[in-house]
Amino acid sequence: MQPSSSDLIDLDIQGVSKRYQLNGQIFTAVDNLSLQIPKGQFCSILGPSGCGKTTLLRMVAGFIEPDDGDIVVGGKSMRGVAPNQRPVNMVFQHLALFPMMSVGENVGYGLARRHVKKDEMKHKVKDMLSRVGLPGIEDKRIEQLSGGQKQRVAIARSLVLEPTLLLLDEPLGALDLKLREHMKVELKQLQAQIGTTFLYITHDQSEALVMSDMVAVMNHGKCEQIGTPQDLYYRPQSSFVAGFVGNANKMSGRAITGTTTLISAEISDNLALFCSAKESFHQAQDVHLFIRPEGIAISRQAFSADSYPNHLRGTVSSILFDGANSSVLVRLINSDLSLQVSLPQNGQLKDLQNGDEVHLAISADNVQAFAA
């Protein structure tokens, strides 16, 4: 017997809205948002502060009720279901571990509240700590653990209750940069190993791109785009997504001519670029253009005329060293514009100096245009 489509969806957010009254005005925190997360997926909700992502998470957890729509977890509506009755658990940014308890007591706390027998609880705690890579530390105190270990203990405490859905509210935000980079990889591997569906809230696009199977980008309470990290990065559907996800050179201009897929846009009085467009534009319509730094070819010599539709010339104004991700700022000749350009990994241009003249080439597909 084939499972129904609802059996394959762990979280189904159906047209959910949440409004607040502030100083006599109605503020819409979440606006008619719909989202489906398949079973076993790592899904991130990505957006700037104030976009509504935490409000959405709190509605899924049951801390607040939506004004419209429904939230379905594991095929069951959560309308009127108390937070402690939902098949959902949450890991908070500050973890909320109990310092007076041992690691084992922290992980087993929820099981004790459910009156699970001691032998069974001990077995479950030991097994879960082993699964998160912390075997044999049941008797340790919380203050004896590193930041990464505390993170995994908090996750073990939530997962030991076998929730359908694990909610993570910016859990890496309090960690230092080096540990945060390490934990991104660990969390992704842990989720893949355990198979529980994760809903991860973050404003850090690097976290979302590295860890997620799917990402929903929120802006002003709405979902701008849902897709894989690759979709969002290479195929953004809006100007907001193109500028928010990853690093991009942003320019403003006016459409000159073209079709729904290829236009020419005037950036300044003596500079126009061929662009890839998701929509058709009328003559002189204001547009925003986005170019990824790695989408720009750079050389000391001029490029072949038929290799790229866009050829530019400029001088190096700044070297941005970041190891393998190093780049340069190039100020375009006869223009006030500067472009950030990734340096080739082969090291051929590692000796570039400020003031050096360089040639740039960009394909139309690497210049994305959206209505301003």
Q: What is the length of the chain? A: 372
Task: Indicate the number of domains in the chain.
Answer: 2
Question: Same structural domain for residues 134 and 15?
Answer: yes
Range 350-365 average pLDDT: 91
Residue 157, Cβ neighbours under 10 Å: how many? 27
Backbone angles phi, psi at 80, to 5 degrees: 75, 0
Range 1-15 average pLDDT: 75
Amino acid 95: pLDDT: 78
Amino acid 197: pLDDT: 94
CA distance linking residue 119 with residue 129, whole number of Å: 16
Backbone angles phi, psi at 307, to 5 degrees: -80, -35
Question: Same structural domain for residues 85 and 208?
Answer: yes
Q: Which domain holds residue 224?
A: 5-243
What CATH number does residue 81 fall under?
A: 3.40.50.300
Amino acid 54: pLDDT: 93
Q: What is the pTM of this model?
A: 0.87
pLDDT tens-digit readout, 56-92: 999 999 999 999 999 999 999 999 999 989 999 988 8
pLDDT tens-digit readout, 310-328: 899 999 999 998 888 889 9
CA distance linking residue 33 with residue 205, whole number of Å: 20
Question: Same structural domain for residues 238 and 251?
Answer: no
Domain endpoint, select from 217, 243, 269:
243
Question: Same structural domain for residues 224 and 283?
Answer: no
Q: Which helix (H) or strand (E) segment is 106 a member of? A: helix 103-107
Question: Same structural domain for residues 257 and 156?
Answer: no
User: Hunting for tokens 């502060």 — which residue is that?
Assistant: 49
Question: Same structural domain for residues 51 and 180?
Answer: yes
Question: Same structural domain for residues 91 and 230?
Answer: yes
Domain endpoint, select from 199, 224, 243:
243
- The helix/strand/coil state of 100 is coil
Question: Same structural domain for residues 119 and 80?
Answer: yes
pLDDT at 347 over 80: no
Domain endpoint, select from 190, 225, 243:
243
